[in-house]
Structure 1
Amino acid sequence: MRAVTALPDPRTGWGLPALGALPRTADLEPLVTRVLAPNPSPMTLDGTNTYVVGAPGNGQAVLVDPGPDDAAHLAAVEAALGARGARCVAVLVTHHHGDHAEAALPWGQRFGAPVAAGSPAVAGPGGRVLEPGERLSLAGTAIDVVATPGHTADHLAFRLESGAVLVGDHVLGRGTSVVTHPEGDVVAYLESLRRVHDLGPSALYCGHGPELTEDPGAVLDFYLAHRAQREQQLLDALAAGAATVDQLVATVYAQVPREVWPAAAQSTRATLDKLAVEGRVVLGPAERVRTA
């Protein structure tokens, strides 16, 4: 198998906080306060980022991705609302995964605030299903709804008046996002990356990890290039003799901790689906794969 040169991650020289060093609460810009949930893990990185969004002095705020229904996290979010002199008037959710959405309905009920999301299951019986391209006028500001399917089919991003985009799990502050099989769609994911890139974001506020403010476009370029690199690595591994998903993961992700190999396997299956649709690989029984 020919060597594949590692792609440079532009974030490596930005001086971002080390893993585990993100502050519990941080004011990112006048419109946004980030509150970190206490649910760190190999998949959630530092934990889930909950965002409190609203115009200063407006007396209102929107919660984006409330995260886990955790008493300590709720207390920290309520403290952030108090510091802004704001009450919660809406709960927005980027996608249905529990580390982002679990608290949406109970907190919406607690605050007397409607829940809005891309799927009716998350929005709940009294909530609102958001449509791509909508502009929400909430908490003294405008929030644009951006379709970003790929990580999940119901994934949305939210563009703020400042030009920052709250990207959920579409882009992470560290590493790269996982597109799982079968709910993930690599083709849709790549299209969504380009859609966010075309917005020219001033910052990317991620579902996990630090905010990306120095050159958001460079991070999106890296994400696109990283996906292309993974595809080539899989094709090279197949040409060298790998014939199953497990063998591909062991080859391509050899330098990655084994605890994340199950997620890598899901991402590999999603990428193989894309390559199969393109006629570049053939998928067989028992997760066997060969080049076309």
Structure 2
Amino acid sequence: MPSVDAPADPRASWFLPAPGELPRTADLEPLVSRVLAPNPSGMTLDGTNTYVVGAPGSGQAVLVDPGPDDAAHLTAVEAVLAARGARCVAVLVTHHHGDHAEAALPWGGRFGAPVAAASAAVAGAGGRVLDHGERLGLAGTTIDVVATPGHTRDHLAFRLESGAVLVGDHVLGRGTSVVTHPEGDVVAYLESLRRVHDLGPSALYCGHGPELTVDPGAVLDYYLAHRAYREHQLLTALAAGAGSVEELVATVYAEVPRQLWPAATQSTRATLAKLQAEGRVETSTGDTVRPA
């Protein structure tokens, strides 16, 4: 099997905030402010990014990914709304994971604002289920709905008039995203990366970590190359004798902190499902995997 070098992460040379130093609130552009939720962890990085989106002077705003239903976070979001002279007119959610969606229905009720998402369960009884290609006229601006399944089945991104794309957990400000298993799908994830790339985003506003503005396309290229590299690592480890998912994770993610191995296991299982569908690996009893 030919050798494949690990791709270089273009963000390594960018001047991004260090972990733990992302500001609690920030105005990213005239249309967008970010409010960082107080839920940092190995998976959520500095915490969940909630975005307040609306045209200046419109008196209205949309919340994207309200995050956890946390009193301090709500206070911070309300302070940003007040500073913008805006009331919340809608709540948009990228996907159903609790660190993004938990506050959607209670905050929607508080603000008297409908919730919109790809999942009816997230949108609630009075909410709106969104489809790819819809254009939402809200808060004095337009927001395009972009289906980006892969991390989860119901994942959406939102493209703004400025050209920036709110990408949820599809792309992170640091590191790479998890393709959850069994609902995550690597093939769909790769297609979604290309779909976002084709938009030519001026910036990627991520669900976790800092915004990516220097060269968003290079980050998307890196994400695609990273997935190809992980496939190569798995096939190399199998050829060398690794036989179980546990052994594959221990080999491929040896330099990753062990507390992140459960997430790595999900991505590994999702990648193996892709390789099995392509006829490149076979599974047998238990968690045993072998080259096809």
- Band of TM-score, shorter chain: over 0.9
Equivalent-residue separation in structure 2 for 1:15 and 1:233 (angstroms): 30
Cα offset, 1:5, TM superposition: 2.5
Describe the superposition over 1:243-291 as per-residue Cα deviations: whole angstroms up to 9, x where unpaired: 0000000000000000011111111000000000000000112110000
Query: SS of the counterpart of 1:290?
Result: strand
Equivalent-residue separation in structure 1 for 2:4 and 2:43 (angstroms): 25
Is residue 159–residue 166 contact of structure 1 (8 Å, CA) maintained in 2? yes
Q: What residue number does 2:76 align with?
A: 76
Cα offset, 1:2, TM superposition: 7.7
Cα offset, 1:6, TM superposition: 2.2
Is it true that 1:232 corresponds to 2:236 in the alignment?
A: no
Q: What residue number does 2:174 align with?
A: 174
Equivalent-residue separation in structure 2 for 1:18 and 1:2 (angstroms): 36
Equivalent AA in structure 2 for residue 24 of structure 1: R
Q: What residue number does 1:124 align with?
A: 124
Is it true that 1:154 corresponds to 2:154 in the alignment?
A: yes
- Structure 2, unpaired ranges of 5+: none
Is it true that 1:28 corresponds to 2:28 in the alignment?
A: yes
TM-score normalised by L of structure 2: 0.99
Q: What residue number does 1:285 align with?
A: 285
Equivalent-residue separation in structure 1 for 2:215 and 2:163 (angstroms): 13
Describe the superposition over 1:210-235 as per-residue Cα deviations: whole angstroms up to 9, x where unpaired: 00000000000000000000000000
Equivalent AA in structure 1 for residue 185 of structure 2: D
Equivalent-residue separation in structure 2 for 1:2 and 1:289 (angstroms): 21
Describe the superposition over 1:8-39 as per-residue Cα deviations: whole angstroms up to 9, x where unpaired: 00000011000000000000000000000000
Mapping 1:188-227, distance limit 5 Å = 188-227=188-227
Q: What residue number does 2:45 align with?
A: 45
Equivalent AA in structure 2 for residue 276 of structure 1: Q
Equivalent AA in structure 1 for residue 113 of structure 2: A
Is residue 281–residue 290 contact of structure 1 (8 Å, CA) maintained in 2? yes
Equivalent AA in structure 2 for residue 284 of structure 1: S
Equivalent AA in structure 1 for residue 57 of structure 2: G
Equivalent-residue separation in structure 2 for 1:186 and 1:132 (angstroms): 19
Seq. identity, %: 83
Equivalent-residue separation in structure 1 for 2:201 and 2:147 (angstroms): 15
Moved over 6 A (4+): none
Is residue 143–residue 159 contact of structure 1 (8 Å, CA) maintained in 2? yes
Is it true that 1:96 corresponds to 2:60 in the alignment?
A: no
Q: What residue number does 1:138 align with?
A: 138
Equivalent AA in structure 2 for residue 42 of structure 1: G
TM-score normalised by L of structure 1: 0.99
Is residue 2–residue 236 contact of structure 1 (8 Å, CA) maintained in 2? no
Equivalent AA in structure 1 for residue 281 of structure 2: V
Equivalent AA in structure 1 for residue 230 of structure 2: R
Equivalent-residue separation in structure 2 for 1:23 and 1:2 (angstroms): 44
Equivalent-residue separation in structure 1 for 2:75 and 2:33 (angstroms): 15
Is residue 60–residue 87 contact of structure 1 (8 Å, CA) maintained in 2? yes
Q: What residue number does 1:60 align with?
A: 60
Q: What residue number does 1:263 align with?
A: 263
